[in-house]
Every structure is written in structure tokens, then in C-alpha cells.
Amino acid sequence: MLKFTKMEGIGNDYIYVDAINQRIENPSELAKKISDRHFGVGSDGLILISESDIADFKMNIYNPDGSQAEMCGNGIRCVGKFVYDKGFTDKTDITIETLAGIKTLELTIENDKVSLVKVDMGEPILEADKIPVVNFNEEIKDGIKFASVNMDLPSFNDKVRFTCVSMGNPHAICFIDDVKKIEIEKVGSVIENSSYFPNRTNVEFIDIVSNHEINMRVWERGVGETLACGTGACASVVASILNGYTERDVVVNLLGGKLEIEWKLEDNHVYLKGPARTIFEGEIDLD
């Protein structure tokens, strides 16, 4: 029997497994089985928490299709809650090793439990070859170079422009008038698997509320539409700033709730703040 914890960060739900005290043989196959919302537990993916030689802990993320993701902003907040609430650490400032590098978490404690987590997501990646994106247009805003692509999409009369940003994983961000009207299930997979993106991409549609607030819907690579995406929110704020739509501190409204994002001038890092919640604990028979 495998012990697990189901957790969510504004509706982005994952299955969290202590891989320090439990042996996981085939995480990709486990992700497919446990993420299934009809025959498994049901989630946006699987996150394994293990020991690290270079940080306090290590997280590995697997999508429901078995592919591995580099980073998840909502997922890493729940990792912080997992290790503190379960007594793996008593520190309120911790480091987590990810495939996108080491991230630093600042934990807010209420009644001996983590309620909020602020994550230093590091510098946004704007170099096309590192995102990666090909056959792109090079743009410049306030001396900062970034990449965009123009795509033909179903149900759009004209080419659609996407700003390309990586937060350790690739994102393509599109600005539209009203995110509620986008038929994301018709275009999400087309964009994700476009030849512009050699490693596929996450996709965000944004409408601007004010210079400190945006609305967002997300199509996650290997998952489909989800209620929230932390790296997507960070990438979307970076793209909003690059395109001159917002200031550097922005509230992002997602289907699952709100995130606070700031791209600081001082260190060029993006900071994400939001809640983390445990839904339930359980065991699953893998036979």
C-alpha cells in the first residue's frame, strides 16, 4: 500500500508522496494511475518529495500522461506545507531542489500549520533558445529582448500573437479581450504541440483588469485546462509587464482563486504568494 496526501493550491491539485520513507519504482506509470479521476485518486499530477544533496528537500513532478514537468508554483507551495506540517522540518525558510533549480520558500504559520507560502521563483527566462521557441520574432521593451510568435489558430480570423517566457518551464501567453469567451479546449492542444515549441508549451490566455490585476486561464502541458498554474501566473505577469499592460506587482485571478505576483527590479526575481491546503490523506493499492 502506498501512503499519499492530496493537496491543492487554488484548485491546482496534486498527489504528494513521501519518497524519503517509501520506495517508488516507476513514477511515470504511478502518475498515470493515481492521477486518473475515474480509476485513481484524481489529480493534476504526482509530486514526489525526497532528500536532496543541495537543498532541504527535492521535488519531482509528473503529469497525468506520465511526462515530467520542471516546476510548479502551486505544487511547490504545497511541498512546503507538506514537509512542515508533517514535522520533516521546523524551519520557516526552506529550499527545494527542482528541475528548474533551487527555489526558496517563506512559510506563514497559523495554529502550527502552514497557511500561506511565498516562493522566490528566480529570474524569468527570455532567451528563445532556453525557453525554447523557434522561428520567433525578436521584440524589445525598455531595453529587454524577448520572443513572440504569430500563429494561425482554429476559430481566429487573424494570426494570434504569443509572448514567450520560461519560468523553468515554457509558457506562451496571449492577450485577449475576455478570457471567459476563449474556447480553450479547441486551441490549447494545438498551441501546446506547435512546432514553434520543441519541448511543447504551457498556454495562458490573459485579459487585463487594471495595471495591478489580470484574469487568466491556463492550458497545462500534458494535462489540459486546469484551475490554476503558478509558473503560468508568473510568466503571464512578466509578459504583461513586457507588453506595457501592468506594473510589477499584480494580482492574478485564476479559475481556482488568486495569486500575488511581483517581478522585482532589484534582483530581477519573480515572487509568488498564495495558499496551500491539505484535502485528505489516504492509501492506495498499486496491484
Give the model confidence (pLDDT) of 96-131 as tens digits: 999 999 999 999 999 999 999 999 999 999 999 999
The whole-angstrom separation of Cα 261 and Cα 79 is 19
User: Cell 510568466 appears where?
Assistant: 235
The whole-angstrom separation of Cα 144 and Cα 123 is 13
| Side chain identity, residue 64 | P
Q: In the structure, what pLDDT confidence band is assigned to residue 157 with cuts at 50, 70 and 90? A: confident
pLDDT at residue 236 in the model: 98
The whole-angstrom separation of Cα 106 and Cα 76 is 11
Sign of the torsion formed by the C-alpha atoms of 101, 260, 44 and 30: positive
Name the nearest CA neighbour of 147 among 125, 163, 130: 163
In 140-242, alpha helices (H):
184-192, 230-242
Distance set, CA 249 to CA 42, 52, 76, 245, 258 (Å): 34, 32, 21, 12, 13
pLDDT at residue 67 in the model: 95
User: Is the confidence at residue 53, as pLDDT, over 90?
Assistant: yes
pLDDT, mean over the chain: 96
Instruction: Supply the CATH classification number for the domain 137-266.
Output: 3.10.310.10
pLDDT at residue 78 in the model: 98
User: What's the mean pLDDT in 166-192?
Assistant: 96
- CATH topology identical between 2-122+274-284 and 137-266: yes
Q: In the structure, what pLDDT confidence band is assigned to residue 190 with cuts at 50, 70 and 90? A: very high
How far from chain centre, in Å, is Cα 239?
15
Backbone angles phi, psi at 182, to 5 degrees: -75, 130
pTM (whole model) above 0.85: yes
User: What's the mean pLDDT in 194-198?
Assistant: 97
User: What's the mean pLDDT in 55-74?
Assistant: 96
pLDDT at residue 286 in the model: 78
**Contact indicator for 52, 45 with CB cutoff of 8 Å:** no
pLDDT at residue 144 in the model: 96
The whole-angstrom separation of Cα 223 and Cα 210 is 30
Question: What is the CATH architecture of 2-122+274-284?
Answer: Roll (3.10)
Q: What is the percent of the chain where pLDDT is above 70? A: 100
pLDDT at residue 158 in the model: 85
Residues catalogued as catalytic: 72, 229
pLDDT at residue 102 in the model: 97
Domain boundaries, the chain: 2-122+274-284, 137-266
Question: What's the start-to-end Cα distance of the chain, in Å?
Answer: 9
In the chain, alpha helices (H):
27-35, 73-85, 184-192, 230-242
pLDDT at residue 237 in the model: 98
Range of lowest pLDDT (152-161, 235-244, 259-268): 152-161
The whole-angstrom separation of Cα 190 and Cα 161 is 14
pLDDT at residue 80 in the model: 98
Q: In the structure, what pLDDT confidence band is assigned to residue 155 with cuts at 50, 70 and 90? A: confident
Provide the pairing of β-strand 2-9 with 277-284: antiparallel
